[in-house]
Structure formats: structure tokens, C-alpha cells
């Protein structure tokens, strides 16, 4: 049975969703958790368009590597964008892959990121699309904030680097 | 740009193996996958044609060391070398942090090597990057073939920019030079990342948002070049 639809999120919803949470990372996690809860989707992944994972939420089978999903989804979305360009479109905002038991919806977040959602037969593509619209809007706002957040710092010194020998070994 | 995932505490670097068709890009990744320690290794994914030619890319994620609580991950990609796949090469280069330019050492391949190098230059420019600022290394592969171009000649035609870059002789099928090349580009990327984090810390400010065309992404604070 499908869950009862609730209006999609807007940017104004972010404070409510994240009332007691401070860092952009935690707020992103909270937003994705809320999205999964409302859609009953299995897993969601925010991906840099170059293929790197920015954050993720939900559960995948143990044998499934999210890193590989991210690389393939980014590649697939990039290829589709080229298809769109040849048809006079800037890009296709969403990409849906339908399987027997698993589906993937990839949605544009902003110029640099996409949202990938994996879902099964317990929900519908319509419901996932419906909530994805508001979620990507909120994600874009949070990602913009995260870029300039003091949390987005990592302090590594030359001394740390000098202590590193060969990184990879046979 | 390197990407920091603050949820999982990871710094991610994207390395692209670039070069002419059949120069040994995929062979490099296959050797690394087959011989790297299990703790580092991810799954090797190849999007190839039925004839085993790279159609889109090969992808190999590698876990590396932990620095200050952050795990470093290096994501290795190859591009399709065939001339007709230039649009695909441009897609794979998106958000690249470093490049390994793989060269076929056979005399007959010199023109293809140079054309591929120019193609890399052009494709980086299209993405707002340039070879003066992106870390890259050269790998002179197939040093076991007959009719071998001497290293000094390869240096002359490929490593003649104002700043010379590290170059490695290799036989990717046997693994010679493969890990040396991988370690070299990885260290270059880490060094650049550290330099930029120090500069940021010295400036006492967070990194500025990047221009839209090459922007930092998401929760990530990427290093700029």
C-alpha cells in the first residue's frame, strides 16, 4: 500500500526538518532521512557530477558498493545531458531506470550535484518524483550553505604529508 | 577538485588515466586491481564493448590512508582512447583532480601519443582547467615492445612544457612502473590538497564558493587549483 502523499518540501521547511541539528552535514542527512521516510524509498545518494559521493542515507545490500553506484549514475546522467543538448534541451531534469524489483530515479540538484534514489515495489515512481522535487530544492540550499561552512575544513600539515611514504602497496 | 564527504569523513580524489587507443590505460587499472592489498581494493567496473574496448570508462575505487581522521579515497578512471569518443572523454574528465597520461612507446605510435596529449589539453581547457595547474604525470608504457622510442625522445615530445613533470617507464602487463606511477600522482594530489588547506587556514577563512562552471560540490569543500 502506498503512503499518503504529504506536500513536498520547500526551502522554508528546512528549519523545521533540522530544528535541533547544527552542521550542514547533519542537516543534509536529516533531509535525506525525511525524504526516504515519506517516499518509502530504499536508499538515496547525493553525488557530485564528477562521480564522488557527497552524502548518503538508507540501506543497500552489503554486496552493493555505493561508490560504484555513484560513478555509474554520474556517468549515465552526464551522457543523458549530452543527449538532451542534441535535442535543444539544457538537460533532462530526471532520469528513471525501471527494473522488476529495483528502480532508480536521478534528479538534478544544481549545476554540480544530482540526487540518486533507489526504490522498490513498495512505493511508486510518481511518489518518489513528487517528493524529489521539493527535496532537491532544499538540498541545493543546504549544499550552497555547506560550501562556505567552517565545518568544510580539514587541517593537514606538511608534517603529516612528510610522514607518508608510498600510499599504495602491492 | 577534491571532494570532502563530511558525513563519512572522506577526502575523495579523482584520477583519470588518459592516452591514445590501446596504450594500456585499462591494463594499468587491471594490474592495480589484481595486485593491490585487499584493504585498499574496490571493485573494478568496465564499461566496454563486446571486443573489450573501453566504451565509456573503467572505474576502480581505492581506499587509502587515514589522515587526521579522514579516510582518503582515490577514484581511478580511464577514458576511451579511440578518436571518435571525444565527447565521452570530456564527460569523464569532469571534476578531475589529477591525470596519468599513458604513452605507447612504439615508434609508430608517436603521432597518436602527441595528438592524444593535445586532445587532453583541449578537453581540460573546455572544462576551465589547464595543464599548468592540474597535477599530472607521464607514463611511458610498453617499454618491452620492439621498435622502441627512446625515453629522451618521449621526454622531448611530451615533457617539454615550462615545468617538467615526473615520468615513469612501465610495462603495464607485467606491472613494471604501474604502482610507481599511481603513487606519484597520488602524492602530488595529496601535496596539492595540503598546500591549499594550509593556505586556507593561513587566510583564516573558509574556501570561497567556486564559479558555477567548475564549482565545488555539495557538502564538499574542494581544493581549488
B54: pLDDT confidence band, cut at 50, 70 and 90? confident
pLDDT for residue B66: 79
Q: Is the pLDDT of residue A20 over 60?
A: no
Nearest CA in chain B to A151: B6
Do the domain assignments include residue B131?
yes
A21: pLDDT confidence band, cut at 50, 70 and 90? very low
Q: Is the pLDDT of residue B213 over 60?
A: no
What does the alpha-carbon distance between residue B65 and residue B10 come to, in Å, rounded to a whole number? 10
**ipTM of the complex as predicted:** 0.77
pLDDT for residue A155: 59
Do the domain assignments include residue B31?
yes
* CB within 8 Å: A148 and B6: no
Q: Is the pLDDT of residue B72 over 50?
A: yes
Give me the residue from B190, B201, B221 closest to A155, CB to CB: B201
Do the domain assignments include residue B225?
no
Residues in chain A: 170
Mean pLDDT of chain B: 86
User: What total of structural domains would you count in chain B?
Assistant: 1
What does the alpha-carbon distance between residue A166 and residue A28 come to, in Å, rounded to a whole number? 35
Tell whether A62 lies on the interface with B, counting CB pairs under 8 A: no
- Chain B, window 185-224: residues with a beta carbon less than 8 angstroms from a chain A beta carbon: 186-187, 190-191, 193-194, 197-198, 200-201, 206-210, 212-213, 215-221
* CB within 8 Å: B206 and A48: no
Residue indicated by cell numbers 560513478: A71
What does the alpha-carbon distance between residue A146 and residue B209 come to, in Å, rounded to a whole number? 10
* Residue B166 belongs to domain with CATH number: 3.40.50.300
pLDDT for residue B203: 73
Do the domain assignments include residue B223?
no
As to burial, measured by CB atoms within 10 angstroms (0-12 exposed, 13-18 middle, 19+ buried), residue B22 is middle
Q: Is the pLDDT of residue A17 over 80?
A: no
Tell whether B174 lies on the interface with A, counting CB pairs under 8 A: no
Give tens-digit pLDDT for A113-125.
999 999 999 999 9
Tell whether A83 lies on the interface with B, counting CB pairs under 8 A: no
* Three cell numbers written together for B126: 573546455
Task: Name the helix (H) or strand (E) containing A97.
Answer: strand A94-98
Set out the domains of chain A in order of their start, with CATH numbers: 11-147 (3.30.450.30)
Mutate to test the interface with A, among B219, B220, B221, B222 (most CBs of A within 10 A): B219
Tell whether A144 lies on the interface with B, counting CB pairs under 8 A: yes
Beta strands in B131-199 (DSSP E): 136-141, 167-169
Give tens-digit pLDDT for B4-30.
776 777 889 999 999 999 999 999 999
Do the domain assignments include residue B105?
yes
Do the domain assignments include residue B224?
no
DSSP readout, B64-126? Answer: EEEETTEEEEEEEEE---SGGGHHHHHHHTTT--EEEEEEE-BGGGHHHHHHHHHHHHHHHHH
| Sheet order of strands, A94-98 included | A53-58, A43-48, A113-119, A103-110, A94-98
pLDDT for residue B69: 76
Residues of chain B found within 8 Å of residue A71, distances taken between Cβ atoms = 45, 59, 61, 75, 77
A163: pLDDT confidence band, cut at 50, 70 and 90? low
Residue indicated by cell numbers 582515490: B74
- On whether the CB atoms of residues A128 and A102 are closer than 8 A, the answer is no
B70: pLDDT confidence band, cut at 50, 70 and 90? confident
Q: Is the pLDDT of residue A158 over 80?
A: no
DSSP readout, A135-148? Answer: HHHHHHHHHHHHHT
Do the domain assignments include residue B221?
no
Do the domain assignments include residue B99?
yes
Give me the residue from A24, A68, A79 closest to B43, CB to CB: A68
What does the alpha-carbon distance between residue B19 and residue B81 come to, in Å, rounded to a whole number? 6
Top pLDDT among B92 and A156 is at B92
* Three cell numbers written together for B32: 592495480
Residue indicated by cell numbers 543538448: A85
User: What single-letter DSSP state applies at residue B135?
Assistant: -
Identify the domain containing residue B147 by its residue range. 3-214
Amino acid at each position: 500500500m502506498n503512503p499518503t502523499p504529504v506536500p513536498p518540501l520547500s526551502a522554508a521547511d528546512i528549519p523545521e526538518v533540522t530544528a535541533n541539528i547544527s552542521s550542514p552535514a547533519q542537516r543534509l542527512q536529516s533531509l535525506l532521512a525525511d525524504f526516504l521516510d515519506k517516499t518509502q524509498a530504499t536508499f538515496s545518494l547525493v553525488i557530485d557530477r564528477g562521480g564522488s559521493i557527497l552524502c548518503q542515507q538508507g540501506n543497500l545490500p552489503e554486496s552493493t558498493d555505493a561508490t560504484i553506484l555513484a560513478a555509474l549514475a554520474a556517468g549515465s546522467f552526464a551522457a543523458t545531458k549530452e543527449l538532451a543538448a542534441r535535442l535543444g534541451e539544457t538537460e533532462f531534469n530526471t532520469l528513471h531506470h525501471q527494473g522488476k524489483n529495483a528502480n532508480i530515479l536521478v534528479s538534478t540538484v544544481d549545476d554540480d550535484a544530482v540526487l540518486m534514489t533507489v526504490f522498490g515495489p513498495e512505493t511508486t515512481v510518481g511518489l518518489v518524483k513528487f517528493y524529489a522535487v521539493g527535496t532537491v530544492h532544499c538540498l541545493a540550499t543546504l549544499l550552497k550553505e555547506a560550501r562556505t561552512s567552517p565545518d568544510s575544513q580539514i587541517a593537514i600539515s606538511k608534517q603529516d604529508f612528510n610522514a607518508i611514504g608510498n600510499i599504495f602497496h602491492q | 577538485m577534491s571532494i570532502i564527504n563530511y558525513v563519512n569523513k572522506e577526502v575523495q580524489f579523482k584520477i583519470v588515466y588518459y592516452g591514445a587507443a590501446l596504450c594500456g590505460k585499462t591494463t594499468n587499472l587491471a594490474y592495480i586491481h589484481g595486485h593491490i592489498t585487499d584493504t585498499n581494493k574496490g571493485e573494478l567496473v568496465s564499461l566496454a564493448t563486446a571486443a573489450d574496448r573501453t566504451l565509456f570508462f573503467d572505474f576502480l575505487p581505492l581506499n587509502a590512508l587515514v589522515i587526521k581522521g579522514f579516510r582518503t579515497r582515490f577514484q581511478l578512471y580511464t577514458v576511451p582512447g579511440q578518436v571518435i569518443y571525444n565527447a565521452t572523454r570530456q564527460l569523464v574528465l569532469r571534476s578531475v583532480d589529477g591525470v596519468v597520461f599513458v604513452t605507447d612507446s612504439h615508434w609508430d605510435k608517436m603521432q597518436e601519443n602527441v595528438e592524444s596529449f593535445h586532445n587532453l589539453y583541449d578537453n581540460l581547457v573546455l572544462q576551465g582547467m589547464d595543464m599548468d595547474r592540474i597535477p599530472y604525470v607521464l607514463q611511458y608504457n610498453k617499454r618491452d615492445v620492439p621498435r622502441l622510442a627512446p625515453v629522451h625522445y618521449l621526454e622531448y615530445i611530451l615533457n617539454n612544457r615550462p615545468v617538467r613533470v615526473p615520468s615513469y617507464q612501465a610495462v603495464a602487463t607485467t606491472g613494471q612502473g604501474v604502482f610507481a606511477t599511481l603513487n606519484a600522482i597520488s602524492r602530488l594530489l595529496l601535496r596539492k590538497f595540503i598546500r591549499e588547506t594550509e593556505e586556507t587556514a593561513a587566510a583564516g577563512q573558509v574556501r570561497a564558493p567556486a564559479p558555477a562552471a567548475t564549482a565545488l560540490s555539495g557538502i564538499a569543500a574542494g581544493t581549488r587549483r
